[in-house]
Amino acid sequence: MPVVVSDAEVTLADVLSLRLAVDEPLAEGAELVLRNRATLAESRVPLGRPGAGVRDAALAVSLAPLDLGPGRWDTYLQQGSSRTRLRSVDPGFSLDHLEAYALSRRTLAYRAYRTRNGFLALKIDDARPTAEVRSVWFREGRFEVTGLLAFTGLEDDEARHDARLTLHRSRPDAELTSVATVQGVRFHAALSLCDVIAAAPGQTGTWEPSLRVRGVSTPLRLGSRLDDVDGKRRRLHYPAAQIDGVPIRPCYTADDELRIEVGG
């Protein structure tokens, strides 16, 4: 039986809201099955008893009580012995919604999305407080970055918070800091590239940026995950700046954390 998801969203209350278009009414005892792509663990959710004439079904599933762990979870409709993987025509992406979702302090972050081959899936991540990068660039001899404080619980208001940008590297150990601007949950920070080169002269290596914000208990790593671009290390390539003949460029790690590469 063809089943297509026409609308999919995880609400701010961590409820998976679905609208299904079906050729035939859902059978009594139908279940939504969530299957972890790596471990093959499953969670089943009874869908209740639909009406006899249902062709367009609206479903709401609270995700927190299901005790799903981080990872990617594929979705299926189970009816008796028949299991159908749910196709989706909804890309499941809204930058505004993702930003609003990230304003609350959470343990896990849930996102509904359409896979490359057109199926509905859930992506679940640990939701530790982080500095979500929106723009990064080199200009006038400076590294500059702007973004959003995610999962900190801070209010999106006009309040200013004392903050500092820190760049750290090991082998040899070095650290640089500069004052950052944080208003509500929006941040802007900048640091001289000449200072980066001078901190470890003649040494190639990678610097790890973080943001320390008063009112947030731990340093915030800079990364970029609240969008639909996974694997930024492969997909985003920034041009290198030349500082005293040394190439320096921003890049991302395999898990989408921001780094500054010097030399190479």
- On the CB side of 224, how many CA atoms lie within 13 Å of its CA? 24
Nearest to 110 by CA among 17, 7, 4: 17
Strands 130-139 and 42-46: unpaired
Structure tokens at 109: 């972050």
pLDDT of residue 49: 60
pLDDT profile of the chain (264 residues), mean per 10: 85 93 80 96 83 67 94 94 91 80 92 93 94 92 94 93 94 90 96 90 89 94 85 81 90 92 85
- Is the preceding omega at residue 172 within 30 degrees of 0, hence cis? yes
Strands 220-223 and 130-139: parallel
Can you say how many angstroms the Cα of residue 228 is from the centroid of all Cα atoms in its chain?
A: 8
Residue 144, number of CB atoms within 10 A of its CB: 15
By 3-state DSSP, what share of the chain in percent is helix, strand and coil, each rounded to 5? 10, 55, 40
| Residues 191, 176 contacting (CB under 8 angstroms) | yes
| Residues 165, 178 contacting (CB under 8 angstroms) | yes
Task: Look at the pTM and tell me if it is higher than 0.95.
Answer: no
Region of 185 on the Ramachandran plot (φ > 0 left; ψ -120 to 50 alpha; else beta): alpha
pLDDT of residue 52: 44
b/e map of 228-249 (b: 16 or more CB within 10 Å)?
eeeebeeeeeeebbebeebebb
| Residues 45, 66 contacting (CB under 8 angstroms) | yes
| Residues 8, 58 contacting (CB under 8 angstroms) | no
pLDDT of residue 58: 83
pLDDT of residue 54: 52
